[in-house]
Every structure is written in structure tokens, then in C-alpha cells.
């Protein structure tokens, strides 16, 4: 009887099997030698990290979280205005460290107007060069919260329950745009 001594099947990396990492895409981003901006949306917040490739392990240069927006008088969650402000905050923290970054969307399929492109627009508006199509970014009304204000007005009394977290944070149901502009002006003063 003859025993086979060669492999007939090779098990892929666990993160690839679980569809968490596209290693081909990641390798191409690493070869660019540019700092990657990794933007992720969870059920309750937006996370953005500026990551530099290192063979021993990636180094996070700067990060921003939508929970941090409370210190700028804005209730941070996982919506479009929060994503823009997170990107803007990350861009301000990157000032002086780099002038150009690339967007790493991971395995997320890009869709026009998504929060990832809102964060990318925030980074671009902070003065950091990031290549992406301007058509992919959400409209200005969505970014600055005017759409949410209109929705709150349409809801009437029900807006108090829908926007209860904003109200608890001191932002009225129709005042999201005003709070957004105030938070953006405060973030613009942030130094790297």
C-alpha cells in the first residue's frame, strides 16, 4: 500500500475563510507605501484609523471615534454627519504627519453616499489629500445634518422619541445642523 505524502488541499488563512480580509487587496495597498485610512461602521459608531504598514504589524498613527464627538458638543453615532466629523477630526490629527492617504474599505462594497465616503470627504476637507470620487460622497445636506432636521420637522412630536439621544445630549430635534457647524468649527482648532 502506498501513502500519499503531498498536500492535496491547502487551508486558507482564517481571516480569509471568515471573509474578513482580502489579502490580495491588502497587499496592493501595502505596496503603495502610503498611509491607509481604515473606516469602519459598527451598529453604534464610526471608527477611523490612519495605519502605516510595518512587516512586524501595522502601526496606527492616528485614530478618531464618533464617541469622541461628545467633547465637541455633538452626539456621535453611526450616521452621515458623525462620519464626516470623524473624518474631519482624523484629518486634523494627521496634519503635519502626512499630506496624502489612501482609503482602505476592507471587504465593504463601495456604494455612493455611504458613511465611508462621508468620512473620506471630511478627511479631504481637513487638508489631507485622499483620492476618491467626489460623486461618491453624500450630498452637503446629508453631511451637515439638514436632512435630519427636515425629517425631525416632518415627524412633529414623534421626533422627541426618535431623536431622544440627541435631546439628552442637549441638541434639539431640529438643531442638528446648528450643532454640526459648531462641532466642525471646534474640530478645526484641533492640532496634530
The β-bridge relationship of strands 35-41 and 46-52 is antiparallel
First to last CA, the chain: 69
Determine the pLDDT at residue 192: 67
Residues lower than pLDDT 70 in the chain: 1, 192
Cross-strand partners of 100: 129
Contact at 8 Å (CB) between 34 and 128?
A: no
DSSP 3-state of 180: helix
Going along the chain from its start, the domains and CATH numbers come out as 21-187 (3.30.420.100)
Grid cell for residue 41:
461602521
Which strands make up the sheet holding 101-104, listed edge to edge? 59-65, 46-52, 35-41, 101-104
pLDDT of residue 172: 87
Take residue 78 and report the three cell numbers written for it: 453611526
53 exposure class (CB count in 10 Å sphere: 0-12, 13-18, 19+): middle
Cell of 31: 505596496
pLDDT in tens, 52-88: 988 888 899 999 999 999 999 999 889 999 999 999 9
DSSP tag of 62:
E
Count of H helices and E strands in the chain?
9, 4
Tell me the three state secondary structure of residue 90. Answer: helix
Amino acid at each position: 500500500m502506498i501513502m500519499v505524502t503531498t498536500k492535496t488541499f491547502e487551508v486558507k488563512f482564517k481571516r480569509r475563510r471568515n471573509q474578513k480580509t482580502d489579502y490580495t487587496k491588502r497587499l496592493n495597498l501595502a505596496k503603495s507605501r502610503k498611509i491607509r485610512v481604515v473606516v469602519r461602521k459598527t451598529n453604534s459608531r464610526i471608527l477611523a484609523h490612519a495605519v502605516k504598514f510595518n512587516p512586524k504589524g501595522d502601526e496606527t498613527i492616528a485614530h478618531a471615534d464618533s464617541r469622541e464627538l461628545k467633547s465637541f458638543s455633538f452626539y456621535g453615532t453611526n450616521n452621515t454627519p458623525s462620519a464626516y466629523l470623524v473624518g474631519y477630526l482624523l484629518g486634523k490629527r494627521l496634519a503635519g504627519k502626512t499630506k496624502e492617504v489612501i482609503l482602505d474599505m476592507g471587504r465593504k462594497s463601495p456604494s455612493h453616499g455611504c458613511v465611508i465616503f462621508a468620512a473620506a470627504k471630511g478627511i479631504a476637507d481637513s487638508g489631507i489629500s485622499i483620492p476618491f470620487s467626489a460623486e461618491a460622497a453624500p450630498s452637503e445636506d446629508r453631511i451637515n445634518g439638514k436632512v435630519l432636521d427636515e425629517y425631525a420637522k416632518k415627524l412633529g412630536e414623534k421626533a422627541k422619541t426618535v431623536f431622544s439621544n440627541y435631546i439628552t445630549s442637549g441638541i434639539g430635534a431640529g438643531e442638528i445642523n446648528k450643532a454640526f457647524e459648531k462641532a466642525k468649527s471646534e474640530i478645526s482648532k484641533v492640532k496634530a
